[in-house]
Every structure is written in structure tokens, then in C-alpha cells.
């Protein structure tokens, strides 16, 4: 089913996300199901953006065992439609169970009727970007290897993109974005000597290029840091990125003509 752009939205409980990671949720919005590991009344809601009406299409008590977290307290984070608006992907995570215990993640895809399936179960999955209706580029672990992969959500098959800069030990995670034609991947990791690097990777040739370095402020708490989160904008003529290099949070533009390699 192909739906018009802008017709549907997806709703999740941002109070639950705040309890999981304050920088990703809404402060002051209490999760009424905070004491329930997988409440039936909470999950994913399909929102009609024209009328404002919504309906629940996924339920945590179903989603938890489906995603490999039966018995854990879970939440949905990072949820996005594909390019044809007939599927969406979400990252299902379990709350940390103790001091120093990290969470794990499952990548789950679902249609608008609530038919969900797990693509990557109970592993490491972080930032991602849809390439087309069925392929996602994601920084994740597949078969014991952590890298940037192109994943076919229909069967879980994955192609590893070997990117020397993106694979450096100092870049344990990459905020990635893909040009709509699939030719380039852009992304940033974490600061090196108080600078964030924006890098580009040519999918066809395997070549890499440093696009810029932006000085970054050191936040008083990690949840208010400013990642670059680069995106293609204005008919892909520009790359926008978030930055604090002028001493305050800003959005800056870089000409996409730098992608000439």
C-alpha cells in the first residue's frame, strides 16, 4: 500500500524514552506505564496527520517477545517511514538492568496494519537511513562484525561497506545519511581533539573524503551534546549540519558540490 506523503505519522511514548535516555525524550511527560515492562496499552500509534485521529497498531506485550526481549522492559526509539510510506523501521531496546549494564537493540520493520518482523535481533543497531523502499544503511553488528551495512529488510541480507575512517576505534558509532541516488554516504562520528569530522564515502569506488571539521563545545552532560547529524536539503544541492562552532547551537549549510570524488 502506497500512501501520500504527509498523510500518516507515527506516535510513540516520549515519556518512556525520557526515562530511558533524557536527551531523546520529552522532559515533564510522565510515562503512566513506567512500572510495566511491556504494557498492552502502549506501543506504536498510526496518526492521521489531516484529522489528528490515531490508532494503536503495535503493542509492547507483543513487540517484546517478537524482538527478542521477552521479560525485559522495552521501548521503541528511532522510528522512520521508508521512501514509499508503506513500511517503517524501529529500533526496539531494553532498559539497562543495572549499573554499567548497556542496552541491546533489535531492528524491527512493520507495515501500516501492524504486521511486524524482526530483521536484526537483540544486537547492536544504531543510526540508519532508508535508501529505498526495502534497503537501509545502518551502523550495526551483523554476523559478529560491526560496520556500516546495506540491509535488505525483506530477508535480512547485508552488504558491508568498508570505510576506513568510519571504522576507526575512535568512531564507535556513525550518524549516517545516504544521497537519494545511493552514490554517497555522509556521516560523522564523535569528537577528536574537540573537533567533529564530516566524512563522505563513495559507494561505487570506495573512496573517502573529509568534507569539514567543526569545533565542538564540550557539554556539561552528554545528553545535550551537538552531533553534526548531516542531511541533504534543497533538492540535494546542500548538506545541512548541526554545529556549535560559533559558540551556540546553529544549523549550517555546505554546498553538495564537495561530493565530486
Tens-digit pLDDT profile for residues 172-224: 788 899 987 888 999 988 888 888 899 999 999 989 999 999 998 877 666 77
Mean pLDDT of 139-144: 93
Task: State yes or no: pLDDT of 225 exceeds 70.
Answer: yes
Whole-angstrom distance, CA of residue 17 vs CA of residue 23: 9
pLDDT confidence bin for 1, thresholds 50/70/90? very low
What is the number of other CB atoms lying within 10 angstroms of the CB of residue 224?
11
pLDDT greater than 60 at residue 2: no
* Cell 504527509 sits on residue: 6
Q: Is the pLDDT of residue 50 over 70?
A: yes
pTM confidence score: 0.90
* C-alpha to C-alpha distance for 7 and 49, rounded to whole angstroms: 6
Mean pLDDT of 119-124: 96
pLDDT of 100 strictly over 80: no
131-135, 164-168, 200-204: segment of lowest average pLDDT: 164-168
How far, in Å, are 128, 133, 249, 250 from residue 246 at the CA level? 28, 38, 8, 8
Rounded Cα distance between 196 and 200, Å, is 13
- H or E element: which one contains 62? helix 60-66
Amino acid at each position: 500500500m502506497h500512501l501520500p506523503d504527509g498523510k500518516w505519522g507515527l506516535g510513540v511514548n516520549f515519556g518512556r524514552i525520557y526515562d530511558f535516555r533524557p536527551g531523546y525524550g520529552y522532559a515533564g511527560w510522565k510515562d503512566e506505564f513506567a512500572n510495566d515492562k511491556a504494557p498492552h496499552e502502549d506501543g506504536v500509534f498510526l496518526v492521521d496527520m489531516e484529522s489528528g485521529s490515531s490508532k494503536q497498531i503495535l503493542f509492547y506485550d507483543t513487540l517484546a517477545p517478537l524482538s527478542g526481549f521477552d521479560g525485559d522492559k522495552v521501548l521503541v526509539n528511532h522510528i522512520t517511514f521508508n521512501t514509499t510510506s508503506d513500511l517503517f523501521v524501529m529500533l526496539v531496546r531494553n532498559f539497562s538492568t543495572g549499573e554499567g549494564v548497556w542496552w541491546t537493540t533489535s531492528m524491527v520493520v512493520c507495515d501500516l496494519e501492524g504486521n511486524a518482523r524482526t530483521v536484526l535481533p537483540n544486537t547492536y543497531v544504531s543510526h540508519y537511513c532508508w535508501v529505498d523502499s526495502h534497503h537501509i544503511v545502518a551502523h550495526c553488528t551483523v554476523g559478529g562484525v560491526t560496520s556500516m551495512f546495506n540491509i535488505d529488510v525483506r530477508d535480512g541480507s547485508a552488504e558491508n561497506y568498508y570505510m576506513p575512517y568510519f571504522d576507526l576505534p575512535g568512531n564507535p558509532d556513525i550518524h549516517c545519511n545516504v544521497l537519494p541516488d545511493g552514490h554517497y554516504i555522509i556521516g560523522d562520528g564523535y569528537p577528536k581533539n574537540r573537533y567533529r569530522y564530516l566524512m563522505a564515502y563513495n559507494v561505487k569506488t570506495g573512496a573517502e573524503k573529509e568534507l569539514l571539521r567543526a569545533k565542538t563545545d564540550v557539554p556539561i552532560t552528554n545528553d545535550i551534546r551537538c552531533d553534526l547529524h548531516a542531511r541533504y536539503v534543497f533538492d540535494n544541492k546542500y548538506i545541512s549540519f548541526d554545529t556549535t562552532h560559533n559558540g551556540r547551537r546553529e544549523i549550517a549549510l555546505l554546498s553538495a558540490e564537495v561530493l565530486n570524488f
